[in-house]
Amino acid sequence: MVSKVYQWLAKALVNNKSFKGFFEPLVQVFFPFWTVDAYRAKLIKIRDENKEVYSLVLKVSKYWKGFEAGQYVEISVEKNGAYMSRIFSISSAPGLYTKSGVIELTIRKQQQGCITPWLYNTLKKGQIINISAAKGHFIVNNLNRSLLLIAGGSGITPFRSIISEALRSRQAIDIHLLYYTHGIDHLFVGELQQQVEKCQGLSVSFVNSSQSGRICLAHLQQYCSDFKNRVSYICGPTGMIQATKQLLLGSNVAEEDIRYEYFGPAPVVNLDIKTSGTIVFKQSCIEVESTSKKTHSLLEIAESAGLSPTTGCRMGICHQCICQKQQGIVYNTLTKVFSDTGSEEVQICISVPVGNVTINL
């Protein structure tokens, strides 16, 4: 009710859906780095990594709180009069930000994407964009443990940050990076090779999966024979993560020693739980009876009902499908945790309804 009154007042007084939407552009004429609910960053340059990948080099507002290696940010840009947001891992080290206030986001141009090619073609040096606080839990808490970092394609971006920061810490480290691409388009090859030369505790294996095949036990034994004694971090396409996780588990690696981050939707598996019930999509005034024996995510149920939720999962852009669950229980297939019955934000691509659930969608 309060929200509706606020919107009505804003429309009546300043002909805008919010007072922020009216005043923010005016204030930014004089204070470009000012914004109400985000931070601001200036584009220093766009650096080509290869034909398909580029890095945004950004000078972030001094009010930004910094980040830990492995985290990501959400950037928002105005395209054709509308603000659009995307999630990207920070590929540079926290040390670079501490020293210069600069971060780097390394981005693959999605052929069918409406944002990633547009950013490359449209953003100009000196342009200011909105940026969120750093988010995510794909971080290394203990460099005293031996690590195996397994990257697939663009999944190298958080590992670049993690490795660079580990070297900057000057701790004695034992890190092996196993980096797969379909072809020879590995990113940051020169940089990684220089780091290997400078640090005896770092080793890197570049694997061309089109020639050597996908990750398998023979690869693990060949490239990192002591993999069972390491904490494994996996980042890349969904299928690669699932196959690697099962490979490690089947090789008696403890599940708590396997960490991963998806560049796509987490797969929904059949669960031994009661998932039948009524799913209410409140904004759309649609109710769906979920009675199938096969487990479906809220995203799949919404799409089967004719809805088109915002989602970037299939383009490797996570966290775009977050919606407000108003009531009911959902099971998170990534964290393997059941929610409580109250209101909270959930990622609908990895959330399975358990009984009756109401979503603000």
User: What is the per-residue pLDDT for 43?
Assistant: 98
pLDDT at 18 over 90: no
Would you mind telling me the total number of residues written for the chain in this entry? 361
pLDDT one-digit tens code per residue, 199-208: 999 999 999 9
pLDDT at 228 over 60: yes
Find the mean pLDDT for residues 203-220. 97
C-beta separation of 43 from 127 below 8 A: yes
Residue 56: Cβ-neighbour burial (10 angstroms; 0-12, 13-18, 19+) = buried
pLDDT one-digit tens code per residue, 179-189: 999 988 899 99
Q: Which residues contact 164 (CB under 8 A, 6 or more apart)?
A: 69, 92, 93, 95, 96, 195
Q: Is the pTM of this model over 0.95?
A: no
Find the mean pLDDT for residues 235-241. 90
pLDDT at 34 over 50: no
* Ramachandran region, residue 332 (left: φ > 0; alpha: ψ -120 to 50; beta: rest): beta
pLDDT one-digit tens code per residue, 269-280: 666 666 678 999
| CA 72 – CA 246 distance, rounded (Å) | 26
User: What is the per-residue pLDDT for 117?
Assistant: 93
User: What is the per-residue pLDDT for 147?
Assistant: 98
Walk me through the domains of the chain, giving residue ranges and CATH numbers.
1-31 (no CATH), 32-131 (2.40.30.10), 147-262 (3.40.50.80), 277-359 (3.10.20.30)
